[in-house]
Structure 1
Amino acid sequence: MKPLGVGLIGTGYMGKCHALAWNAVASVFGEVARPRLMHLAERDAALAAERARAFGFAKSTGDWRAVIADPEVDVVSVTTPNAFHAEMAIAALEAGKHVWCEKPMAPKLADAERMLAAARASGRVAIIGYNYIQNPVIRHMGRLIREGAIGAVTQARVEMDEDFMADPADLFSLKSEASSGYGALDDFAVHPLSLLKVLVGDVEAVIADMGKPYADRPTADGGRRTVENHDMASILMRLAGGVPGVMVVNRAAFGRKGRIAVQIYGSAGAILYDQERMNEFQLYQHAGRAEERGFRTVLTAPHHAPYDRFVPAPGHGLGFNELKIIECRELHAAIAGQPFTALTFEQGIRIERTVHAMAESHAERRWVDVA
């Protein structure tokens, strides 16, 4: 496959993460042709030029449409705030570009469905940025579950907690606006849902409750503004095959930084994982002498592919940005028509529908099936 021409829209936290991945993917995965970093867009032309120099892009612009119109761009990374994903991704697909869009697809389900329709009509690859599923630990856990290492799955529990919205004195921001979505559900809970999807299966029904720890927040001008979405949610779920599940998410959990605690229980054992210790997992297998049974910790090592592409020694660990490089490799595979591990719009729409079913459940105080 010829080198891909890359366009990047948005250069914040996730924009830089994508840029690092595009710059590193060929060095880590030698079978990938080195991408050509062609065109970068930011809201301000001067900022775009500055970021293009820093990230290694040939051209820059203050108009994202120029990136999509560029004939040298084959694939577009969309890393803007959630509310802009749909318009940009659809425009890119209609222009014949492949798309790598950060999660979630869009705050409104109708927009996410339009994104899926555009991907289907274009015939191009469109994936969503769920890089946690690329962790060699998660891949290995999934393999163990599929092979029956813990027997038949009997229950799944997952919690996601961070504290970036915990301080009531912090100023009102975009994340508290209704335009950004439901809050903890689509900004946040989509990540544990992606892990459940690859480890256990899709969510089939939910009953949810959402909460606001703070009714309003201070503004820069000394006033106060009403918080328009929810920073926490608690959900009971029925997963594929009737497996019961529980999910609790909280963006205002003091002391938590990047916690996604996954507990999968089976008829012959259990697997535990915590994103704050992302290079290890705990495995319990109900075998052998009773007095010697217990959880054992498994550390990542070169035999947990593709860990070996980064580090030749066990226990040294990978980080968030390395998972994005792996995701970039999977995008290349998808575009080349090879087997790949990533969630496309076709697969990811189920997560969007699940989030909206949770919001509907909260509003109507009842169980809701995920369509």
Structure 2
Amino acid sequence: MKQVLLDLQSGEIQVEEVPAPLARRALVVENRYSLISAGTETALINLAKKSLVGKAKDRPDDVRKVLAKVTTDGPFSAYQQAMSRLAKPEPLGYSSAGVVRETGVDDFEVGDRVACGGAGYAVHAEYVAVPKNLCVAVPDGVSLQEAAFTTVGAIAMQGVRNAQVGLGETVAVIGLGLIGVLTVQILKAAGCRVIGIDIDPEKLALARDLGADMTTNYDGVLEKLQSLSPFGADAVIITAATKSNAPIEAAGHLVRDRGRVAVVGNVGMNVPRDIFYEKEAEVVVSRSYGLGRYDRNYEERGIDYPIYVRWTERRNMEAFLELVRAKKVTLDRLITHEFDLADAPGAYGMIAGGREKYLGVLLKYSPNGNGSRPAGSVTFMEPETGTRVKKPAAVQNLGCIGAGVHALSSLYPNLPQLPVTLRGLATATGLSAHSVAKKYGFAYCTTDYRKILEDPETPAVLIATRNDMHAPMVVEALEAGKRVFVEKPLATTPEELRMVADAWKASEGDVMVGFNRRHSPLSRRMKAFFANRSSPMVIHYRVNAGEIPADHWVHDEEQGGGMLISECCHFIDYMQYMTGARPTLVFARGIEPTGVVSKYDNFQAMFSFADGSIGTVTYTTLGDRAYSKETVEVFCSGAVGRIVDFRDLRLTRDGKAETEKRWFSQEKGFVEELHAFARGEGFNFTESAATTLATFRAWESIEAGRPVAVDTASLGL
């Protein structure tokens, strides 16, 4: 299928052939129309066109994150991670309408006409996969052309709701672009008197034609408003888009005593305190298009709010379409341009050029005519694309599944160095699959990972998806006879671990888990330093992770498993590697949780090992990210080894210290572990299973408040 892509490094708009999406827990919709959001999309395009310095000035928070990375990871690693984010094209669009071609939910059937919303979902593409709470049925009497405005209409609806307007109230709307004129019509449908404010005479005339009681520019606006309402506006809704502070200042003068100001557009927000203080006016920033926005349970999983949480995203979308059906909101005069999908670069060029007046700009899609989802879930890459290099004839082919942040920053940049031929790449979205496959020279890409497992020319797979998908995919890969490299954690529940262990025992394939730190050259040197030890080891592994947002997917019970399961496995494996012995007992204790601070993100876990060694993991999110993240210390046989952030090694014995320092980047072992996998080395599933089981037993220990045995025999290993 074809999709509109933005190159984040150059700002160029392209229409590319990418794999079609799969339904999973969503709908696959064949788009007929999608609406270009001139303000939001143009701002992103303009940012992409800027130099690295310009991007940094516009995104100071991101710069601070990069600088913190430089402190702990080194400048090269930080730069590599930052550039990997820019290398991935960005999907554009968030409001479309079309026909359901495949469904993974109960609410819709194939053939239904639907309006779709959501950045990353209702994009400018021939086919989109959209969760059910971001789709609504299009009523009879509403065209798909009109329905493509639904998400933008819901933004206007939410702005009106945040203004808390009542029947007969006077409302000023500042900014009469697309959302502004929709807001005017919605307010009139709600029984309000409306004054529209803009500097463009044509927009003022259009707003009058669409029902505004009065329109004006900023000249004498306060006097004109008083002729409509002597006490001022009951509410002001700002739908302008400007860096200027003028709209919020004007709103302060226009709003009545104890009135309400709802900010919908992206405007300057230096609120003049004296004006708002004197009136004790309320200011609220309207968030997108309804309750549920940015809530993963609502948007991704389709878990709805009870009806007393009245106006969710989906209900706002439905309400807007009902106003269109009842002809209380008319859209025909708002559609100023239509472009075929293939001419999308021309549409954005028209918007950027400023030579033509525009309001509603639609992209139009030609129906495929067969009434079904396209078979093209696999896209074969052109031979000349990517960075493919010649490989020795005897090496294996490799398929990859997943292309998230970790894969793109730490794993995939090393692929060109491996003695493998890259076959297929599977990711959840066609855009991601296409862009990464093109960059690294995969033979084909797909949104269906089973295409990789079914490929007879792919004996080995690399799995780098979200955590909850690891164990099921490993089982499927083993059943397909593949050799598997899977990112940690191997499993997120004991039941999943048992399932993987059973599949491993029954399969001719093998599994290597991405415990990269044991492959670091610094780790190898420290292990060699203790090679002739005469006593057990005492190990302390301290991790200063820094604050992790409560809504990060790693905390999701299904997708992540929390930091104890997701990350602590690294450090248990490291101690197992250093001691050469399996963990036998764990006693863990978390802090008493307060607010958003989790005991599973802030804990100490002490492990006993079969050779008599002991090791403690201290993991916390309460420290400063600018401080070193990881420090491991090993005490044994009158000697001490220490590694800080895998950049600084110090080995001390008999009062003498040897040191090594990596100035520009970390040596965490990513490239070394991938080379080991490609060579058929580093496979030790039983150790990885023991590590994974130990994380679950640490969880149990925190819950029970007592030591818990790590019984690897329970896995039959």
Classify the TM-score, shorter chain. 0.7 to 0.9
User: Could you tell me whether the CA contact under 8 Å between 2:543 and 2:631 is conserved in 1?
Assistant: yes
Equivalent in 638, 643, 651 of residue 283 of structure 1: 651
**TM-score normalised by structure 1 residue count:** 0.78
Equivalent in 387, 391, 396 of residue 4 of structure 1: 396
**Partners of 1:238 and 1:162 in 2: CA distance:** 24
- Distance change in 2, residues 1:317/1:122 (3 Å): farther
1:179 match: secondary structure? coil
Query: What amino acid does structure 1 have at the position aligned with 2:625?
Result: G
Residue 343 of structure 1 and its aligned partner are, at CA, apart by: 5.1
**Partners of 1:248 and 1:190 in 2: CA distance:** 13
Which residue of structure 2 aligns with residue 219 of structure 1? Answer: none
User: Could you tell me whether the CA contact under 8 Å between 1:156 and 1:246 is conserved in 2?
Assistant: yes
Which residue of structure 2 aligns with residue 333 of structure 1? Answer: 679
Structure 1 unaligned runs (5+)? 26-33, 217-226, 287-292, 301-314, 335-339
Equivalent in 289, 299, 304 of residue 660 of structure 2: 299
- Distance change in 2, residues 1:325/1:54 (3 Å): same
Which residue of structure 2 aligns with residue 156 of structure 1? Answer: 539
User: Could you tell me whether the CA contact under 8 Å between 1:182 and 1:229 is conserved in 2?
Assistant: no
2:422 match: secondary structure? strand
Runs (4 or more) in structure 1 with deviation over 3 Å come to: 211-216, 315-321
Find out whether 1:360 has 2:700 as its counterpart.
yes
Find out whether 1:210 has 2:602 as its counterpart.
no
User: Could you tell me whether the CA contact under 8 Å between 1:212 and 1:232 is conserved in 2?
Assistant: no
Query: What amino acid does structure 1 have at the position aligned with 2:652?
Result: Y
Equivalent in 3, 9, 23 of residue 416 of structure 2: 23
Find out whether 1:38 has 2:423 as its counterpart.
yes
> 1:36-76: per-residue Cα shift (whole Å, max 9, x none)?
11101111123211221122211011111111112221211
Residue 245 of structure 1 and its aligned partner are, at CA, apart by: 2.5
**Partners of 1:257 and 1:13 in 2: CA distance:** 23
User: Could you tell me whether the CA contact under 8 Å between 2:582 and 2:687 is conserved in 1?
Assistant: no
**TM-score normalised by structure 2 residue count:** 0.42
User: Could you tell me whether the CA contact under 8 Å between 1:210 and 1:230 is conserved in 2?
Assistant: yes
Identity of aligned residues (%): 21
Which residue of structure 2 aligns with residue 196 of structure 1? Answer: 575
2:630 match: secondary structure? strand
Identify the range of structure 1 (355-364 vs 207-216) with the bigger mean alpha-carbon deviation.
207-216
Question: How does 1:1-371 map onto structure 2 within 5 Å?
Answer: 2-16=394-408, 17-25=410-418, 34-148=419-533, 151-165=534-548, 170=549, 172-200=551-579, 201-211=581-591, 215-216=595-596, 230-255=600-625, 259-274=629-644, 276=645, 278-286=646-654, 293=655, 296-299=657-660, 319-320=666-667, 323-334=669-680, 340=681, 342=682, 344-371=684-711
Identify the range of structure 1 (115-124 vs 192-201) with the bigger mean alpha-carbon deviation.
115-124
Query: What amino acid does structure 2 have at the position aligned with 1:110?
Result: E
**Partners of 1:209 and 1:157 in 2: CA distance:** 15
Query: What amino acid does structure 2 have at the position aligned with 1:21?
Result: N
CA RMSD for the aligned pairs?
A: 2.4
Residue 228 of structure 1 and its aligned partner are, at CA, apart by: 8.0
> 1:2-49: per-residue Cα shift (whole Å, max 9, x none)?
221111111112322332222112xxxxxxxx3111101111123211
- Distance change in 2, residues 1:212/1:96 (3 Å): farther
The alignment of Structure 1 onto Structure 2 pairs a total of residues equal to 317
Query: What amino acid does structure 2 have at the position aligned with 1:298?
Result: T
**Partners of 1:256 and 1:186 in 2: CA distance:** 24
User: Could you tell me whether the CA contact under 8 Å between 1:231 and 1:251 is conserved in 2?
Assistant: yes
User: Could you tell me whether the CA contact under 8 Å between 2:583 and 2:609 is conserved in 1?
Assistant: yes
- Distance change in 2, residues 1:37/1:65 (3 Å): same
> 1:176-200: per-residue Cα shift (whole Å, max 9, x none)?
2122454221211111112101112
Residue 317 of structure 1 and its aligned partner are, at CA, apart by: 6.7
User: Could you tell me whether the CA contact under 8 Å between 1:152 and 1:268 is conserved in 2?
Assistant: no
2:608 match: secondary structure? strand
> 1:288-311: per-residue Cα shift (whole Å, max 9, x none)?
xxxxx25x24217xxxxxxxxxxx
**Partners of 1:343 and 1:253 in 2: CA distance:** 35
User: Could you tell me whether the CA contact under 8 Å between 1:162 and 1:256 is conserved in 2?
Assistant: no
User: Could you tell me whether the CA contact under 8 Å between 1:212 and 1:230 is conserved in 2?
Assistant: no
**Partners of 2:464 and 2:444 in 1: CA distance:** 17
> 1:61-109: per-residue Cα shift (whole Å, max 9, x none)?
1111111112221211100011000111111111111110000101012
**Partners of 2:452 and 2:414 in 1: CA distance:** 19
User: Could you tell me whether the CA contact under 8 Å between 1:7 and 1:67 is conserved in 2?
Assistant: yes
> 1:325-354: per-residue Cα shift (whole Å, max 9, x none)?
2112211232xxxxx3x3532220001111
Residue 281 of structure 1 and its aligned partner are, at CA, apart by: 1.6
User: Could you tell me whether the CA contact under 8 Å between 1:212 and 1:231 is conserved in 2?
Assistant: no
Residue 280 of structure 1 and its aligned partner are, at CA, apart by: 3.4
**Partners of 2:543 and 2:466 in 1: CA distance:** 21
**Partners of 1:329 and 1:146 in 2: CA distance:** 24
Structure 2 unaligned runs (5+)? 1-392, 712-717
- Distance change in 2, residues 1:230/1:268 (3 Å): closer
